[in-house]
């Protein structure tokens, strides 16, 4: 597994928390969206941490898949928040890009680990 993915998803979660904090100061319909993003955006790292402590390769794959699902969900919520004009594109675009990259890295990890487990 890439050594920096753990730090990367942690930093992503920190950015989501900061975004949540700033957006919840303003009341509006975006509150539901940002709360969903907070849940999924912080769950990526927590599930990846659980994968790190997996008891088997199958357990690692299963937990990594959950982290991947949460990353995809985060990407969705970020895109929806951007499309709904809840926040300026300048502020949200880097997070959308990072979520997309995290999805790509986690997809690669799941696919490679699954492939390697089948050949063991």
Q: Which domain holds residue 91?
A: 5-118
Give pLDDT tens digits for 1-45. 445 999 999 999 999 999 999 888 776 678 889 999 999 999 999
Greater model confidence, 86 or 46: 46
pLDDT at 118: 87
Into how many domains does the chain fold? 1
CA 59 vs. chain centroid, Å, equals 19
Tell me, what CATH number does 43's domain have?
1.20.1440.60
Q: What value does the mean pLDDT of the chain take?
A: 92
C-beta of residue 82 within 8 angstroms of C-beta of residue 34: no
Q: With 80 as the cut, is the pLDDT of residue 100 above it?
A: yes
């Amino acid at each position: 597994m890439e050594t920096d993915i753990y730090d990367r998803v942690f930093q992503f979660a920190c950015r989501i928390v900061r975004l949540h904090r700033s957006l919840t100061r303003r009341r509006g319909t975006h509150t539901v969206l940002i709360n969903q993003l907070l849940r999924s955006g912080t769950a990526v790292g927590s599930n990846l941490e659980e994968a790190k402590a997996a008891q088997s390769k199958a357990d690692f794959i299963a937990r990594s898949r959950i982290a991947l699902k949460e990353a995809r969900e985060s990407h969705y919520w970020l895109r929806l928040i951007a499309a709904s004009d809840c926040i300026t594109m300048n502020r949200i675009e880097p997070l959308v890009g990072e979520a997309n990259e995290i999805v790509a890295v986690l997809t690669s990890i799941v696919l490679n680990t699954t492939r390697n487990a089948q050949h063991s």
